[in-house]
Amino acid sequence: MTFVLAEPGAVIGAFVLYCAAGVAAGALLATAYWLWTRRPDMPQGFFRHPPSRATAAVIGASALIGGALIGARAQLWAFYRIDVAGDRVTLRYALPARALTLPRAQIERVVAGLGGEKGATMRLVIYTRGGERHESAPTARERFEAARAALGVVE
């Protein structure tokens, strides 16, 4: 039995949006820093060294990297599909394309992700007896409930 919680293209697309938001935030922060420090009314000695384009670039790159890391954590490190076959559960990930197979007996709890109890979309979180935590990409409530029922283990 297969449960598609999210489409791989949508997962990768959401990651690209996080990266684009990081680029926009980085450009905005770098420009704001550059313009703010170049104001004529800026007191002398406010900065130890005069502001540089390199500092503005570091600020912008930090925002880009932050957006990419948040996007990777939210989208790419989450599985998008579950294959249930007998006593095996296989979790499929979009990028990089990989699969993780767990014995069903190792699954301890299956719960909703933090904050998803009331929304239209939620994340399926699987805890194993070994203490591992596996989280799905955001999915519709109906898909979440069907996958959780098929796994047969609820908090």
For the chain, domain boundaries: 2-76, 79-151
pLDDT of residue 103: 92
Measure CA of the first residue to CA of the last residue in the chain; give whole Å.
22
The CATH architecture one would assign to domain 79-151 is: Roll (2.30)
pLDDT of residue 153: 66
pLDDT of residue 43: 63
pLDDT of residue 88: 92
pLDDT of residue 53: 73
pLDDT of residue 26: 85
The pTM of the full predicted model, rounded to 2 decimals, is 0.68
Q: What angle do CA 5, 74, 63 make, to 5 degrees?
A: 150
Higher pLDDT, 60 or 76: 60
Res 120 pLDDT > 70: yes
Amino acid at 116: G
Higher pLDDT, 70 or 129: 129
pLDDT tier at 83 (50, 70, 90 boundaries)?
A: very high
User: How far apart are alpha carbons 133 and 77 in whole angstroms?
Assistant: 11
Res 47 pLDDT > 60: no
